[in-house]
Amino acid sequence: MKAIVIGAGPAGLMAAEALAAGGAAVDVYDAMPSAGRKFLMAGKSGLNLTHAEPFENFVARYGARRDWVEPWLRDFGADALRDWARGLGVDTFVGSSGRVFPEGMKAAPLLRAWLHRLRAAGVRFHMRHRWLGREDGDLLFDTPSGSIKLGAGGAAVILALGGGSWRKLGSDGAWVPLLRERGVEVAPLKPANCGFDVPWSAHFKEKFAGQPAKSVVASFGGKQRQGEFVITRHGVEGGLIYAFSAALRDALERDGGATLTLDLAPGRSLERLTQEIAHPRGARSLASHLQNRAGIAGVKTGLLRECLPRETFDDPAALAAAVKALPLRLAAPRPLDEAISSAGGVAAAALDERLMLKALPGVFCAGEMLDWEAPTGGYLLTACFASGLVAGQGALTWLRAGRQSR
């Protein structure tokens, strides 16, 4: 049995592991000089491998794609992923937010141990091989030595080519037209877990770009979440923004605009805040008054001045109401290549339950190139691992059925 895996990220490597464990001869091809480039980048500041919350809460994070993703996670969820890492000699721990990290926090030790185990199992790696599609059953690759054709007759092919974000790490979405021309339904790639443009004034961006807005409650679409975000020269980004990014992106696409509501003083009631702001300030400046009486200072004061008309500052009740519900109007998502991940990809309807393409028997897909999305917090990586396992096991089943029929 022979299998060809194209893409050496977590999904592709997990598919390769499943195939090798089942007795297949496995070759892995990737356009980058080394495996797991985006995986390593994700772990540069602390690899958030998965999340320890209850399963029902966990699968709810996949939104409209929950029903599709849930079976993968029942086979290989957060606990199984932690056990798998332990099998590679890497223990994990649960952080205060429920996020799961490897001891040492880094991705590199885990990846090194994994690649060592794969090579010991006979998996062969071919780097700097960029997939260019198929021709008469052959796989086409661009290599440092020129274009080559690889015979794939009888082999299972697993595509794990990533989405469209972080092009420099290999996820460039170049596979989209290659599959569409073969009759595969592919939803357009869109930014997910992304920042958004806000048309800041020159003064505001010069003064506050790079600064965090902490202890803020954001609201949009009937949902609320507390956290922090960062002001950028272009707009806003960070964990609190990413939590709403899918809904905000879709609203911008649908309606042409979206407004995120910010509570800048979540620990104070509107009534108390109104009383504090209305307190006589004497000779103090308004900025000093807001800091002393309402705990509003720095970037939060800047946001109020940026987003509110001047007359609001003369009305304590109106100003207090704005502190509790500041409208932040977003103009557009940041470009796809800047996003942490991407939405869109190979549609569920184009695949069977084994993640094999209906239009291309023997070709399987896994990872971020599938049409699902999830917030940060370990959910992205967990589903990538799990889908790789499903595709690898599905390819094994297909190979065994073919061998028996012969």
Q: Tell me the pLDDT band of 406, cut-offs 50, 70 and 90.
A: very low
Task: Determine the Cα–Cα distance for residues 377 and 384; give it in Å rounded to an integer.
Answer: 13
Helix (H) or strand (E) holding 207: helix 202-208
C-beta of residue 209 within 8 angstroms of C-beta of residue 26: no
Per-residue model confidence as pLDDT tens digits over 136-154 = 889 999 999 999 999 888 8
Give the domains, in start order, of the chain with CATH numbers.
2-192+342-405 (3.50.50.60), 196-333 (no CATH)
Per-residue model confidence as pLDDT tens digits over 88-113 = 999 999 998 899 999 988 899 999 99
The pLDDT, as a whole number, for residue 403 is 61
Average pLDDT over residues 71-95: 96
DSSP state of 110: H
Both tokens of 215, joined, read 């202890």
Task: Determine the Cα–Cα distance for residues 6 and 3; give it in Å rounded to an integer.
Answer: 10
Dihedral of CA 91/96/99/101: which sign?
negative
Task: Determine the Cα–Cα distance for residues 55 and 382; give it in Å rounded to an integer.
Answer: 12
What is the reported pTM? Answer: 0.90
